[in-house]
Amino acid sequence: MRYINKPAEDEYPAYSHIYMDLLEDDGKVLEHLWQNFLAIKEYVYALPEEKLAYRYAKDKWTIKEILVHLIDDERIFAYRALRYARNDDTPLHGFDQDSYTRFSRANQRSLDSIFEEYEWVRKSTLALFQYLPEESFTRGGEGIDYDGSIINRRTVRGLAYHIAGHELRHFNIIKERYIN
């Protein structure tokens, strides 16, 4: 798979360091995306069914909700990467992840259906980043907050690493807070 250099700190918002810090600076973000998908799938399928609907605290997501959140987030950030890669620097609005999760009906879905969708989205994301022109990785754009103000700037490669690091962060949370 293609190598993509890790973004510099000015290629993503400051809060994203919690994702970026989880990733090696080895250029293998696409390999990491595929291997991490396989690892999460294996890990979650090994859990007892009742763990998939467990909440470690009031208003926290279930594991199924986390998985669908990862799918939603990946779709949105891959779309942003496509826009920026094609030199469309129109500022893009964020999304309300809690609303997305609330309306996802993730807990009514089978684990098979969730992972089928997850795999399709992941393969699409990998294909996008695999075949982008090299010069597109440093193109970027801005995000818009709910009040209309510009809140951050990201590059295409910053978005690739965001997807991978965001997934790892949630995987770590599952292992730390849901399995005790």
Output DSSP code: residue 155.
E
- Report d(CA 44, CA 41) in Å as an integer: 5
Which of 176, 180, 178, 170 lies closest to 40, judged by CA? 170
In-domain check, residue 110 = yes
In-domain check, residue 7 = no
Which range marks the domain in which residue 79 is found?
Answer: 13-178
In-domain check, residue 6 = no
Tens digits of per-residue pLDDT, 114-143? Answer: 999 999 999 999 999 999 999 999 999 998
DSSP code string of 80-146 = HHHHHHTT----EE---HHHHHHTT-GGGS-HHHHHHHHHHHHHHHHHHHHHS-GGGGG-EEEEE-T
Tens digits of per-residue pLDDT, 14-53? Answer: 989 999 999 999 999 999 999 999 999 999 999 999 999 9
In-domain check, residue 5 = no
CATH of the domain at 167: 1.20.120.450
**What are the C-alpha distances in Å from 86 to residues 7, 15, 98, 132?**
18, 26, 30, 9
Backbone angles phi, psi at 155, to 5 degrees: -100, 170
In-domain check, residue 123 = yes
In-domain check, residue 2 = no
pTM value?
A: 0.95
In-domain check, residue 115 = yes
What pLDDT is stored for residue 146 in this prediction?
65
- Asked if 49 and 134 count as a contact pair (C-beta separation under 8 A), the reply is no
Residue with tokens 């496509």: 82
Looking at the structure of the chain, the number of domains it has is 1
In-domain check, residue 8 = no
Beta bridge partners of 92: 143
Tens digits of per-residue pLDDT, 18-27? Answer: 999 999 999 9
